[in-house]
Chains A and B, each alone.
Chain A
Amino acid sequence: EPEVTQTPSHQVTQMGQEVILRCVPISNHLYFYWYRQILGQKVEFLVSFYNNEISEKSEIFDDQFSVERPDGSNFTLKIRSTKLEDSAMYFCACQRETLNEQFFGPGTRLTVL
């Protein structure tokens, strides 16, 4: 069964450093998402991406964040200058068509020191 994969599984970085989180969505899916989950808190929407552009973003997704689908298979989330409060699990999700269910990857645990 196709699945979403994410790398790395755990990323440790120093405050102020840039990080890139990578996702390989299910191959025939067209809509892509990033969510985050701070430890013990709810899953929060960050951004949705369709047709090579951002279709929707939350107030969390500020200028420090960017997304890219560089080669038709990978979907990346970049945090330009990490802050301590960026420490969280980051989940990639994808969706074959709009109104369908979303499938989540296993997540990347980001720890900012």
Chain B
Amino acid sequence: QKEVEQDPGPLSVPEGAIVSLNCTYSNSAFQYFMWYRQYSRKGPELLMYTYSSGNKEDGRFTAQVDKSSKYISLFIRDSQPSDSATYLCAMRRNTGNQFYFGTGTSLTVIP
């Protein structure tokens, strides 16, 4: 079983839609959870960074972590064409600095 699972998509939505992106994981030691956005041929750009369970909101983005289900989500409200990118989840344990990434979900927001 992979440490981090993420549906690669592709996901295509109309402008203004609410987007839900998800990852599951197998290692209960993961405590820190991140969402990165990656445009084509660019480096990952940090969107959200959360610790343990709960919700975190930043503008149109909301990150949720459910440690009991080993499930994390990123919601994008009022999606824009500029949100079109690949979204990567990443996580790490409390010790060590290695980040474990999902494969990424490709999102296209259609004007």
> B48: shortest Cβ distance to chain A, in Å?
9
* Residues of B with C-beta under 8 A to A4: 43
**A35 vs chain B, min Cβ distance (A):** 8
Residues of B contacting A42 in the complex (Cβ-Cβ under 8 angstroms): 88, 101-104
Given contacts A42-B103, A101-B34, contact A106 B43 (CB under 8 A): yes
Assess the B98–A45 pair: CB atoms within 8 A.
yes
Interface residue tally for chain B (C-beta within 8 Å): 21
> What's the least CB distance linking A97 to chain B, in Å?
10
Asked if B66 lies at the interface with its beta carbon under 8 angstroms from chain A, I say: no
- A56 and B44 contacting across the interface, CB-CB below 8 Å: no
Closest residue of chain B to A55 (Cβ to Cβ) is: B97
- Beta-carbon contact of B103 and A41 below 8 Å: yes
Minimal Cβ-Cβ distance residue in B for A98 = B97
- A107 engages B43 (CB within 8 Å): yes
Q: For the complex, is B42 an interface residue (Cβ under 8 Å from A)?
A: yes
Asked if A45 and B43 make an inter-chain contact with CB atoms under 8 angstroms apart, the answer reads: no
Decide if B41 touches A103 in the complex (CB within 8 Å): no
B46 in contact with A102 (CB, 8 Å): yes
Interface assignment of B96: CB less than 8 Å from any CB of chain A:
yes
In whole angstroms, how far apart are the Cα atoms of A106 and B39 in the complex? 10
Q: What are the nearest 3 A-B pairs in CB distance?
A: A104-B43, A43-B101, A42-B103
Chain A interface residues toward B at CB < 8 A: 4, 31, 33, 35, 41-45, 48, 50, 55-56, 58, 89, 91, 95, 98-99, 101-107, 109
- Chosen A-B contacts, 16 in total, with CB atoms closer than 8 Å, are A4-B43, A42-B88, A42-B103, A43-B101, A45-B99, A45-B100, A48-B97, A48-B98, A50-B97, A55-B97, A56-B97, A56-B98, A89-B41, A98-B97, A102-B34, A104-B44
